[in-house]
Structure 1
Amino acid sequence: MPAQTEPYRRPIGLAVFLIVAGVVGWYSAFDLTLEKIRTLMNPGYVPSCDISPLVTCGPNMASAQGSVFGFPNPIIGVAAFVAPIVVGVAILAGARFAKWFWVLFNLGFALGLAFVVWLIGQSIFVLGTLCPYCMLVWLVMIPLFLYVTAYNLKEGNFGNGAGSREIAALLYPWVWIVAVLCYLVIVVMAQLRLDAITSIIQSL
Structure 2
Amino acid sequence: MTSVTEDSAQATRPRGDDDPSLHDPVDDDPTSPARVAWRRRTAIEMVVSGVLGLITSFVLSIEAWRLAKDPQATFSCDFSSVISCSTVAKTWQAELLGFPNAFLGIAFEVVVITISVAAIGGVRFPRWFMLGTQVLYTIALAFAYWLFLQSYFVIGALCPWCLLITATTTLVWAGLTRWNIRDGHLRLPGRAGPWSRGLVASGYDWYLTIAVLVVLVAAILLKYGPVLLAS
Same fold (TM over 0.5): yes
Q: Distance in 2 between matches of 1:96 and 1:187?
A: 35
**Alignment match, 1:175:** 205
Q: Distance in 2 between matches of 1:174 and 1:197?
A: 30
Q: Distance in 1 between matches of 2:68 and 2:130?
A: 39
The answer as to whether partners of 1:153 and 1:164 remain within 8 angstroms in 2 is no
Q: Distance in 2 between matches of 1:126 and 1:156?
A: 40
Question: Matches of residues 142-181 of structure 1 in structure 2 within 5 Å?
Answer: 142-160=170-188, 164-172=192-200, 173-181=203-211
**Alignment match, 1:125:** 153
Decide which moves more: 39-48 or 111-120: 39-48
Q: Report the CA distance shift for 1:161/1:63 in structure 2 as closer, same or farther (over 3 A).
A: closer
Give the gaps of 5 or more residues in structure 1: none
Larger radius of gyration: 2
TM-score (norm 2): 0.79
- Structure 1 runs (4+) deviating above 3 angstroms are 159-166
Q: Distance in 2 between matches of 1:96 and 1:142?
A: 23
Give the gaps of 5 or more residues in structure 2: 1-5, 15-28
The answer as to whether partners of 1:22 and 1:84 remain within 8 angstroms in 2 is yes
Q: 1:191 and 2:221 equivalent?
A: yes
- 1:119-164 deviations in whole A, cap 9, x for unaligned? 1110100011110110111111112222222321222213457965
Aligned length: 201
Q: 1:91 and 2:122 equivalent?
A: no
The answer as to whether partners of 1:103 and 1:158 remain within 8 angstroms in 2 is yes
> With CA pairs under 8 Å and 6+ residues apart, which has the higher RCO, 1 or 2?
2
**Alignment match, 1:48:** 76
**Alignment match, 2:3:** none
CA RMSD of aligned residues (A): 2.1
Between the aligned residues of both structures, percent identity stands at 28
Secondary structure of 1:81's counterpart equals helix
